[in-house]
Amino acid sequence: MKKKLILFIVLLVSLVLLTGCGDSATIDTYSDPSFTKGSISKLAVFPMQNTRLAPSQSRQVNRDVTQGVNSINPNIEIMGAAKATRIINEHSLADEWAKFLDDYNSSGIPNSQLLFEIGDALNVDAIMQGEIVDVYQRDGKYGGDTALSRVTVRYSILSTDSGKLLWEATSRGSRESATTLADAPPLIEVIQLAQEKILDNLAL
């Protein structure tokens, strides 16, 4: 009788703690009419902004998107984040690029002249820039909410030839834990979830 009681309690606690876990990611894209498959031959992938990640995790996120672009179109010559950053610094354009991002994020209008200048420095047709737009994390509570991490990621491809926004995608990824007592899922996992959704909708 005692064993049955213990078993019943264990099962009851499990029902309280366990809930359906799930991953989800939405996507919203914009594409300029001039952006077509094969229109880019050289692409620089810049480091993602506002990642809130450890340096090693940030590098992994940058590698993921570089490898993703390469798998979509192996013919594109890709300049990775580390090399692009080094060249930008060598040409003393880092501060200008930071200001460009601030202005672009607030106005939605790219500074064409700076894009031309950076394109000349990097010798690429376009720049791909990622950004963490919004982050929400919550730990689970006993008898209450499950643990949850949610992030909004945006990637933009900007032409260094025309100075225009060629393509942009925003994905909202979320991951919910299986138990109410878990910590919020790791942020990098949710970023990768949203990033995968974006890459799935990128036609280069």
Q: What is the pLDDT along the chain (204 residues), one digit of tens a residue?
A: 544 444 433 333 443 334 445 898 899 999 999 898 889 999 999 999 887 788 899 999 999 999 999 999 999 999 999 999 999 999 999 999 999 999 998 888 999 999 999 999 999 999 999 999 999 999 988 777 889 999 999 999 999 999 999 999 999 999 998 777 788 999 999 999 999 999 999 988
Whether 3 is in a domain gets the answer no
φ/ψ of 125, rounded to 5, equals -85, -30
**Residue position matching structure tokens 């080094």:** 86
Could you tell me the CATH number of the domain that includes residue 80?
3.40.50.10610
What is the extent of the structural domain holding 128? 20-200
Residue 184 lies in a domain: yes
| Number of domains forming the structure of the chain | 1
Prediction pTM value: 0.85
Position 174 in a domain: yes
Q: Per the domain annotation, does 5 fall within a domain?
A: no
Residue ranges with strand state E in the chain: 22-31, 42-45, 77-79, 126-138, 148-159, 165-176
9 within some domain: no
